[in-house]
Structure 1
Protein backbone atom coordinates (compact mmCIF):
# COMPACT_ATOMS: atom_id res chain seq x y z
CA UNK A 1 0.00 0.00 0.00
CA UNK A 2 1.36 3.41 -0.97
CA UNK A 3 1.49 6.32 1.46
CA UNK A 4 -1.01 8.29 -0.61
CA UNK A 5 -3.42 5.35 -0.54
CA UNK A 6 -3.07 5.16 3.24
CA UNK A 7 -3.82 8.88 3.50
CA UNK A 8 -6.92 8.41 1.33
CA UNK A 9 -8.20 5.65 3.59
CA UNK A 10 -7.52 7.81 6.65
CA UNK A 11 -9.36 10.75 5.09
CA UNK A 12 -12.30 8.50 4.17
CA UNK A 13 -12.44 7.23 7.77
CA UNK A 14 -12.39 10.76 9.18
CA UNK A 15 -15.04 11.84 6.68
CA UNK A 16 -17.26 8.98 7.82
CA UNK A 17 -16.84 10.09 11.43
CA UNK A 18 -17.91 13.62 10.46
CA UNK A 19 -21.00 12.25 8.69
CA UNK A 20 -21.89 10.18 11.76
CA UNK A 21 -21.43 13.26 13.94
CA UNK A 22 -23.71 15.34 11.73
CA UNK A 23 -26.39 12.65 11.86
CA UNK A 24 -26.11 12.48 15.66
CA UNK A 25 -26.48 16.25 16.03
CA UNK A 26 -29.43 16.39 13.64
CA UNK A 27 -31.04 13.62 15.67
CA UNK A 28 -30.76 15.80 18.77
CA UNK A 29 -27.92 13.92 20.39
CA UNK A 30 -25.27 16.63 20.34
CA UNK A 31 -24.19 19.43 22.65
CA UNK A 32 -22.58 22.77 21.87
CA UNK A 33 -19.17 21.26 22.62
CA UNK A 34 -19.90 18.37 20.29
CA UNK A 35 -20.86 20.84 17.57
CA UNK A 36 -17.60 22.75 18.06
CA UNK A 37 -15.63 19.50 17.81
CA UNK A 38 -17.54 18.59 14.68
CA UNK A 39 -16.75 21.91 13.00
CA UNK A 40 -13.07 21.61 13.92
CA UNK A 41 -13.04 18.04 12.66
CA UNK A 42 -14.63 19.09 9.38
CA UNK A 43 -11.91 21.71 8.88
CA UNK A 44 -9.20 19.14 9.58
CA UNK A 45 -10.75 16.69 7.11
CA UNK A 46 -10.98 19.43 4.48
CA UNK A 47 -7.28 20.17 4.91
CA UNK A 48 -6.44 16.47 4.77
CA UNK A 49 -8.31 16.01 1.50
CA UNK A 50 -6.67 19.13 0.10
CA UNK A 51 -3.24 17.77 1.00
CA UNK A 52 -4.00 14.39 -0.59
CA UNK A 53 -5.56 15.80 -3.76
CA UNK A 54 -3.00 18.63 -3.98
CA UNK A 55 -5.73 21.24 -4.22
CA UNK A 56 -6.00 24.51 -2.36
CA UNK A 57 -9.07 24.83 -0.13
CA UNK A 58 -9.92 28.04 1.71
CA UNK A 59 -7.05 30.38 2.63
CA UNK A 60 -3.52 28.97 2.97
CA UNK A 61 -2.86 31.29 5.91
CA UNK A 62 -5.43 29.52 8.11
CA UNK A 63 -3.97 26.01 8.02
CA UNK A 64 -0.78 26.48 10.01
CA UNK A 65 -2.53 28.29 12.89
CA UNK A 66 -5.09 25.48 12.88
CA UNK A 67 -2.25 22.96 13.04
CA UNK A 68 -0.78 24.79 16.03
CA UNK A 69 -4.13 24.83 17.85
CA UNK A 70 -4.61 21.14 17.13
CA UNK A 71 -1.10 20.40 18.35
CA UNK A 72 -1.65 22.27 21.62
CA UNK A 73 -4.93 20.43 22.16
CA UNK A 74 -3.23 17.09 21.49
CA UNK A 75 -0.44 17.82 23.97
CA UNK A 76 -2.99 18.90 26.56
CA UNK A 77 -4.83 15.62 26.06
CA UNK A 78 -1.56 13.72 26.39
CA UNK A 79 -0.85 15.58 29.64
CA UNK A 80 -4.22 14.48 30.99
CA UNK A 81 -3.47 10.87 30.09
CA UNK A 82 -0.14 10.99 31.91
CA UNK A 83 -1.30 12.83 35.02
CA UNK A 84 -4.92 11.84 35.62
CA UNK A 85 -6.11 8.39 36.59
CA UNK A 86 -8.37 7.08 33.82
CA UNK A 87 -9.62 3.65 32.87
CA UNK A 88 -7.60 1.45 30.54
CA UNK A 89 -10.14 1.78 27.74
CA UNK A 90 -10.23 5.56 28.08
CA UNK A 91 -6.44 5.77 28.11
CA UNK A 92 -6.22 3.66 24.95
CA UNK A 93 -8.77 5.85 23.19
CA UNK A 94 -7.08 9.09 24.25
CA UNK A 95 -3.59 7.90 23.26
CA UNK A 96 -4.87 6.74 19.86
CA UNK A 97 -6.66 10.05 19.38
CA UNK A 98 -3.49 11.95 20.28
CA UNK A 99 -1.37 10.00 17.80
CA UNK A 100 -3.82 10.63 14.97
CA UNK A 101 -4.11 14.30 15.94
CA UNK A 102 -0.34 14.77 15.87
CA UNK A 103 -0.29 13.21 12.40
CA UNK A 104 -2.89 15.77 11.31
CA UNK A 105 -0.74 18.53 12.80
CA UNK A 106 2.16 17.56 10.53
CA UNK A 107 -0.07 17.25 7.46
CA UNK A 108 -1.89 20.55 8.02
CA UNK A 109 1.37 22.38 8.70
CA UNK A 110 2.79 21.15 5.40
CA UNK A 111 -0.46 21.92 3.62
CA UNK A 112 -0.38 25.50 4.91
CA UNK A 113 2.95 26.22 3.21
CA UNK A 114 2.09 28.99 0.71
CA UNK A 115 5.12 28.19 -1.44
CA UNK A 116 3.39 25.37 -3.31
CA UNK A 117 1.91 25.07 -6.79
CA UNK A 118 -1.45 24.00 -5.39
CA UNK A 119 -2.13 27.50 -3.99
CA UNK A 120 -1.41 29.28 -7.27
CA UNK A 121 -4.04 30.51 -9.69
CA UNK A 122 -3.86 29.37 -13.34
CA UNK A 123 -2.48 32.79 -14.26
CA UNK A 124 0.23 32.54 -11.60
CA UNK A 125 1.18 29.05 -12.78
CA UNK A 126 1.48 30.27 -16.35
CA UNK A 127 3.50 33.29 -15.25
CA UNK A 128 5.72 31.07 -13.13
CA UNK A 129 6.49 28.82 -16.09
CA UNK A 130 7.30 31.83 -18.28
CA UNK A 131 9.58 33.31 -15.64
CA UNK A 132 11.27 29.96 -15.11
CA UNK A 133 11.95 29.74 -18.85
CA UNK A 134 13.54 33.21 -18.82
CA UNK A 135 15.72 32.30 -15.86
CA UNK A 136 16.75 29.01 -17.47
CA UNK A 137 17.96 30.99 -20.48
CA UNK A 138 19.57 33.97 -18.73
CA UNK A 139 20.07 33.03 -15.09
CA UNK A 140 19.02 36.50 -13.91
CA UNK A 141 16.27 38.93 -14.92
CA UNK A 142 15.22 42.42 -13.84
CA UNK A 143 12.07 44.53 -13.87
CA UNK A 144 11.08 48.09 -13.04
CA UNK A 145 7.74 49.79 -12.51
CA UNK A 146 7.03 53.52 -12.24
CA UNK A 147 3.66 54.78 -11.05
CA UNK A 148 3.20 58.45 -10.14
CA UNK A 149 5.26 58.96 -6.97
CA UNK A 150 6.12 55.28 -6.57
CA UNK A 151 8.85 53.17 -8.11
CA UNK A 152 9.73 49.50 -7.73
CA UNK A 153 12.58 47.45 -9.12
CA UNK A 154 13.17 43.72 -8.86
CA UNK A 155 16.04 41.38 -9.56
CA UNK A 156 15.33 37.64 -9.72
CA UNK A 157 18.03 34.97 -9.65
CA UNK A 158 17.71 31.20 -9.78
CA UNK A 159 20.25 29.13 -7.87
CA UNK A 160 19.72 25.40 -8.15
CA UNK A 161 16.05 24.81 -7.39
CA UNK A 162 15.63 28.07 -5.44
CA UNK A 163 14.41 31.42 -6.73
CA UNK A 164 15.48 34.62 -5.00
CA UNK A 165 13.74 37.94 -5.57
CA UNK A 166 15.38 41.18 -4.39
CA UNK A 167 12.94 44.10 -4.29
CA UNK A 168 13.61 47.83 -3.99
CA UNK A 169 10.66 50.17 -3.44
CA UNK A 170 10.87 53.96 -3.47
CA UNK A 171 8.17 56.39 -2.46
CA UNK A 172 8.33 60.06 -1.50
CA UNK A 173 12.10 59.99 -1.15
CA UNK A 174 12.13 56.88 1.03
CA UNK A 175 13.67 53.60 -0.05
CA UNK A 176 12.90 50.10 1.17
CA UNK A 177 14.82 46.95 0.28
CA UNK A 178 13.90 43.35 1.00
CA UNK A 179 14.34 39.92 -0.51
CA UNK A 180 12.58 36.58 -0.38
CA UNK A 181 13.38 33.05 -1.53
CA UNK A 182 10.96 30.60 -3.13
CA UNK A 183 10.92 27.05 -4.42
CA UNK A 184 7.81 27.50 -6.54
CA UNK A 185 7.98 30.13 -9.32
CA UNK A 186 4.22 30.70 -9.29
CA UNK A 187 4.46 31.73 -5.63
CA UNK A 188 7.14 34.24 -6.56
CA UNK A 189 4.85 35.67 -9.26
CA UNK A 190 2.15 36.17 -6.60
CA UNK A 191 4.68 37.79 -4.25
CA UNK A 192 6.02 40.23 -6.84
CA UNK A 193 2.58 41.30 -8.04
CA UNK A 194 1.37 41.86 -4.48
CA UNK A 195 4.39 43.59 -2.96
CA UNK A 196 6.02 45.27 -5.96
CA UNK A 197 3.21 45.60 -8.49
CA UNK A 198 5.39 43.85 -11.07
CA UNK A 199 4.13 41.19 -13.46
CA UNK A 200 6.03 38.68 -15.58
CA UNK A 201 5.63 40.88 -18.66
CA UNK A 202 7.73 43.59 -16.99
CA UNK A 203 10.88 41.46 -16.85
CA UNK A 204 13.84 41.85 -19.17
CA UNK A 205 17.48 40.68 -19.25
CA UNK A 206 19.91 42.58 -16.98
CA UNK A 207 21.12 45.81 -18.59
CA UNK A 208 24.66 44.48 -18.73
CA UNK A 209 23.41 41.54 -20.82
CA UNK A 210 21.34 43.62 -23.22
CA UNK A 211 22.97 44.06 -26.64
CA UNK A 212 24.06 47.60 -27.42
Structure 2
Protein backbone atom coordinates (compact mmCIF):
# COMPACT_ATOMS: atom_id res chain seq x y z
CA UNK A 1 0.00 0.00 0.00
CA UNK A 2 1.47 3.36 -1.03
CA UNK A 3 0.92 6.62 0.84
CA UNK A 4 -1.83 7.86 -1.48
CA UNK A 5 -3.82 4.67 -0.97
CA UNK A 6 -3.27 4.96 2.77
CA UNK A 7 -4.62 8.52 2.78
CA UNK A 8 -7.63 7.44 0.71
CA UNK A 9 -8.35 4.70 3.24
CA UNK A 10 -7.93 7.16 6.09
CA UNK A 11 -10.30 9.61 4.42
CA UNK A 12 -12.89 6.88 3.88
CA UNK A 13 -12.59 5.81 7.53
CA UNK A 14 -13.03 9.34 8.88
CA UNK A 15 -15.94 9.95 6.50
CA UNK A 16 -17.61 6.80 7.82
CA UNK A 17 -17.17 8.03 11.40
CA UNK A 18 -18.77 11.36 10.50
CA UNK A 19 -21.66 9.58 8.77
CA UNK A 20 -22.23 7.39 11.84
CA UNK A 21 -22.12 10.46 14.09
CA UNK A 22 -24.60 12.32 11.90
CA UNK A 23 -26.94 9.33 11.93
CA UNK A 24 -26.73 9.17 15.71
CA UNK A 25 -27.64 12.85 15.97
CA UNK A 26 -30.61 12.42 13.65
CA UNK A 27 -31.83 9.61 15.88
CA UNK A 28 -31.64 11.90 18.90
CA UNK A 29 -28.47 10.50 20.37
CA UNK A 30 -26.41 13.64 20.88
CA UNK A 31 -26.13 16.95 22.72
CA UNK A 32 -25.21 20.45 21.58
CA UNK A 33 -21.58 19.63 22.32
CA UNK A 34 -21.88 16.57 20.06
CA UNK A 35 -23.15 18.78 17.24
CA UNK A 36 -20.14 21.09 17.61
CA UNK A 37 -17.76 18.13 17.70
CA UNK A 38 -19.37 16.63 14.62
CA UNK A 39 -19.15 19.94 12.78
CA UNK A 40 -15.46 20.33 13.58
CA UNK A 41 -14.85 16.72 12.61
CA UNK A 42 -16.68 17.12 9.31
CA UNK A 43 -14.65 20.23 8.49
CA UNK A 44 -11.44 18.37 9.33
CA UNK A 45 -12.46 15.54 6.99
CA UNK A 46 -12.97 18.05 4.19
CA UNK A 47 -9.39 19.20 4.76
CA UNK A 48 -8.19 15.60 4.82
CA UNK A 49 -9.80 14.90 1.46
CA UNK A 50 -8.38 18.11 0.04
CA UNK A 51 -4.89 17.10 1.15
CA UNK A 52 -5.35 13.57 -0.18
CA UNK A 53 -6.69 14.66 -3.57
CA UNK A 54 -4.29 17.57 -3.94
CA UNK A 55 -7.07 20.13 -4.24
CA UNK A 56 -7.64 23.40 -2.43
CA UNK A 57 -10.95 23.39 -0.57
CA UNK A 58 -12.27 26.58 1.05
CA UNK A 59 -9.52 28.96 2.25
CA UNK A 60 -5.98 27.94 3.29
CA UNK A 61 -6.18 30.31 6.27
CA UNK A 62 -8.74 28.18 8.12
CA UNK A 63 -6.83 24.90 8.20
CA UNK A 64 -3.97 25.72 10.56
CA UNK A 65 -6.28 27.31 13.17
CA UNK A 66 -8.43 24.18 12.89
CA UNK A 67 -5.31 22.06 13.38
CA UNK A 68 -4.56 24.11 16.51
CA UNK A 69 -8.07 23.45 17.87
CA UNK A 70 -7.63 19.73 17.30
CA UNK A 71 -4.19 19.85 18.95
CA UNK A 72 -5.74 21.42 22.05
CA UNK A 73 -8.38 18.68 22.03
CA UNK A 74 -5.65 16.03 21.88
CA UNK A 75 -3.87 17.57 24.87
CA UNK A 76 -7.11 17.73 26.86
CA UNK A 77 -7.84 14.08 26.08
CA UNK A 78 -4.39 13.01 27.25
CA UNK A 79 -4.78 15.08 30.43
CA UNK A 80 -8.14 13.43 31.11
CA UNK A 81 -6.61 9.99 30.63
CA UNK A 82 -3.90 10.81 33.15
CA UNK A 83 -5.97 12.62 35.76
CA UNK A 84 -9.71 11.92 35.45
CA UNK A 85 -9.77 8.36 36.78
CA UNK A 86 -11.58 6.98 33.74
CA UNK A 87 -12.49 3.35 33.24
CA UNK A 88 -10.27 1.15 31.08
CA UNK A 89 -12.83 1.26 28.29
CA UNK A 90 -13.04 5.06 28.38
CA UNK A 91 -9.25 5.32 28.45
CA UNK A 92 -8.98 3.06 25.41
CA UNK A 93 -11.47 5.09 23.39
CA UNK A 94 -9.94 8.37 24.55
CA UNK A 95 -6.47 7.28 23.43
CA UNK A 96 -7.78 6.05 20.07
CA UNK A 97 -9.52 9.40 19.56
CA UNK A 98 -6.34 11.27 20.51
CA UNK A 99 -4.22 9.27 18.04
CA UNK A 100 -6.59 9.85 15.12
CA UNK A 101 -6.95 13.53 16.03
CA UNK A 102 -3.17 13.87 16.14
CA UNK A 103 -2.96 12.50 12.59
CA UNK A 104 -5.43 15.15 11.46
CA UNK A 105 -3.43 17.86 13.23
CA UNK A 106 -0.33 17.01 11.20
CA UNK A 107 -2.22 16.68 7.91
CA UNK A 108 -4.21 19.89 8.32
CA UNK A 109 -1.12 21.83 9.38
CA UNK A 110 0.61 20.88 6.12
CA UNK A 111 -2.58 21.40 4.11
CA UNK A 112 -2.88 24.95 5.43
CA UNK A 113 0.48 25.97 3.98
CA UNK A 114 -0.38 28.60 1.33
CA UNK A 115 2.91 28.00 -0.48
CA UNK A 116 1.60 25.03 -2.48
CA UNK A 117 0.50 24.69 -6.07
CA UNK A 118 -2.86 23.23 -4.99
CA UNK A 119 -3.95 26.66 -3.70
CA UNK A 120 -3.02 28.43 -6.93
CA UNK A 121 -5.51 29.55 -9.56
CA UNK A 122 -4.92 28.81 -13.23
CA UNK A 123 -3.71 32.39 -13.68
CA UNK A 124 -1.24 31.98 -10.81
CA UNK A 125 0.06 28.71 -12.27
CA UNK A 126 0.62 30.32 -15.68
CA UNK A 127 2.22 33.35 -14.06
CA UNK A 128 4.46 31.05 -12.04
CA UNK A 129 5.58 29.26 -15.19
CA UNK A 130 6.42 32.60 -16.79
CA UNK A 131 8.45 33.73 -13.78
CA UNK A 132 10.22 30.39 -13.52
CA UNK A 133 11.27 30.56 -17.17
CA UNK A 134 12.45 34.16 -16.82
CA UNK A 135 14.46 33.44 -13.68
CA UNK A 136 16.22 30.53 -15.34
CA UNK A 137 17.64 33.02 -17.84
CA UNK A 138 18.18 35.97 -15.54
CA UNK A 139 18.11 36.59 -11.80
CA UNK A 140 17.20 38.92 -10.20
CA UNK A 141 14.38 40.61 -12.12
CA UNK A 142 12.81 43.97 -11.36
CA UNK A 143 9.59 45.71 -12.35
CA UNK A 144 7.47 48.63 -11.20
CA UNK A 145 3.92 49.87 -11.37
CA UNK A 146 3.21 53.60 -11.16
CA UNK A 147 -0.13 55.40 -11.09
CA UNK A 148 -1.35 58.79 -9.88
CA UNK A 149 -1.45 57.84 -6.21
CA UNK A 150 0.85 54.88 -5.71
CA UNK A 151 4.15 53.47 -6.84
CA UNK A 152 5.12 49.85 -6.36
CA UNK A 153 8.27 48.04 -7.35
CA UNK A 154 9.35 44.45 -7.00
CA UNK A 155 12.64 42.58 -7.23
CA UNK A 156 12.44 38.82 -7.55
CA UNK A 157 15.22 36.25 -7.65
CA UNK A 158 15.89 32.56 -7.41
CA UNK A 159 18.05 31.13 -4.63
CA UNK A 160 18.52 27.40 -5.08
CA UNK A 161 15.09 25.79 -4.81
CA UNK A 162 13.45 28.90 -3.39
CA UNK A 163 12.27 32.22 -4.76
CA UNK A 164 12.84 35.51 -2.99
CA UNK A 165 10.81 38.65 -3.55
CA UNK A 166 11.37 42.18 -2.25
CA UNK A 167 8.50 44.66 -2.46
CA UNK A 168 8.66 48.44 -2.12
CA UNK A 169 5.48 50.52 -2.06
CA UNK A 170 5.17 54.30 -1.89
CA UNK A 171 1.99 56.20 -1.11
CA UNK A 172 1.56 59.77 0.10
CA UNK A 173 5.20 60.12 1.05
CA UNK A 174 5.17 56.90 3.06
CA UNK A 175 7.41 54.01 2.09
CA UNK A 176 6.73 50.37 2.92
CA UNK A 177 9.20 47.55 2.24
CA UNK A 178 9.03 43.83 2.94
CA UNK A 179 10.49 40.55 1.73
CA UNK A 180 9.23 36.98 1.42
CA UNK A 181 10.50 33.59 0.27
CA UNK A 182 8.50 30.90 -1.52
CA UNK A 183 9.00 27.36 -2.74
CA UNK A 184 6.45 27.41 -5.56
CA UNK A 185 6.48 29.91 -8.45
CA UNK A 186 2.67 29.99 -8.57
CA UNK A 187 2.60 31.32 -5.00
CA UNK A 188 5.26 33.84 -5.98
CA UNK A 189 3.12 35.12 -8.87
CA UNK A 190 0.07 35.37 -6.59
CA UNK A 191 1.99 37.30 -3.93
CA UNK A 192 3.51 39.80 -6.37
CA UNK A 193 0.21 40.61 -8.05
CA UNK A 194 -1.66 40.85 -4.75
CA UNK A 195 0.73 43.34 -3.16
CA UNK A 196 1.94 45.33 -6.17
CA UNK A 197 -0.64 44.80 -8.95
CA UNK A 198 2.32 43.71 -11.10
CA UNK A 199 1.69 40.57 -13.11
CA UNK A 200 4.20 38.04 -14.40
CA UNK A 201 3.55 39.37 -17.91
CA UNK A 202 4.43 42.89 -16.71
CA UNK A 203 7.74 41.60 -15.35
CA UNK A 204 8.40 39.79 -18.62
CA UNK A 205 7.66 42.89 -20.72
CA UNK A 206 9.70 45.28 -18.59
CA UNK A 207 12.73 43.01 -18.44
CA UNK A 208 12.51 42.19 -22.14
CA UNK A 209 12.47 45.92 -22.83
CA UNK A 210 15.53 46.40 -20.63
CA UNK A 211 17.28 43.52 -22.33
CA UNK A 212 16.43 44.95 -25.74
CA UNK A 213 17.90 48.30 -24.81
TM-score by length of 2: 0.95
* Aligned counterparts of 1:75 and 1:142: Cα–Cα separation in 2: 48
Q: How many residues are paired up?
A: 211
Shift in Å, 1:30: 2.2
* Aligned counterparts of 2:75 and 2:212: Cα–Cα separation in 1: 62
**Could you tell which deviates more after superposition, 144-153 or 21-30?**
21-30
2:98 aligns with: 98
Deviations 1:104-143 (A, max 9, x none): 1010000000000000001111111111111111122111
* Aligned counterparts of 1:206 and 1:173: Cα–Cα separation in 2: 30
Q: Is the 8 A contact 1:142 1:206 kept in 2?
A: no
* Aligned counterparts of 1:206 and 1:165: Cα–Cα separation in 2: 19
Deviations 1:46-85 (A, max 9, x none): 0000000010001100000000011011101101101121
**Could you tell which deviates more after superposition, 164-173 or 21-30?**
21-30
Matched position secondary structure for 1:57: coil
Q: Is the 8 A contact 1:138 1:205 kept in 2?
A: no
1:68 aligns with: 68
Displaced runs of 4+ in structure 1, greater than 3 A? none
1:205 aligns with: 207
Q: Is the 8 A contact 1:114 1:187 kept in 2?
A: yes
Shift in Å, 1:206: 8.7
* Aligned counterparts of 1:206 and 1:182: Cα–Cα separation in 2: 24
* Aligned counterparts of 2:112 and 2:150: Cα–Cα separation in 1: 33
Q: Is the 8 A contact 1:142 1:205 kept in 2?
A: yes
- Does 1:107 pair with 2:122? no
Matched position secondary structure for 2:179: strand
Matched position secondary structure for 1:205: helix
Q: CA RMSD in A?
A: 1.4
Q: Which 5+ residue runs of structure 2 have no aligned equivalent?
A: none
Q: Which 5+ residue runs of structure 1 have no aligned equivalent?
A: none
Alignment of structure 1 residues 150-161 onto 2, 5 Å? 150-161=150-161
Q: Is the 8 A contact 2:129 2:185 kept in 1?
A: yes
TM-score by length of 1: 0.95
- Does 1:15 pair with 2:12? no
Alignment of structure 1 residues 1-212 onto 2, 5 Å? 1-203=1-203, 204-205=206-207, 210-212=211-213
Shift in Å, 1:87: 1.1
Shift in Å, 1:205: 2.8
* Aligned counterparts of 2:180 and 2:94: Cα–Cα separation in 1: 42
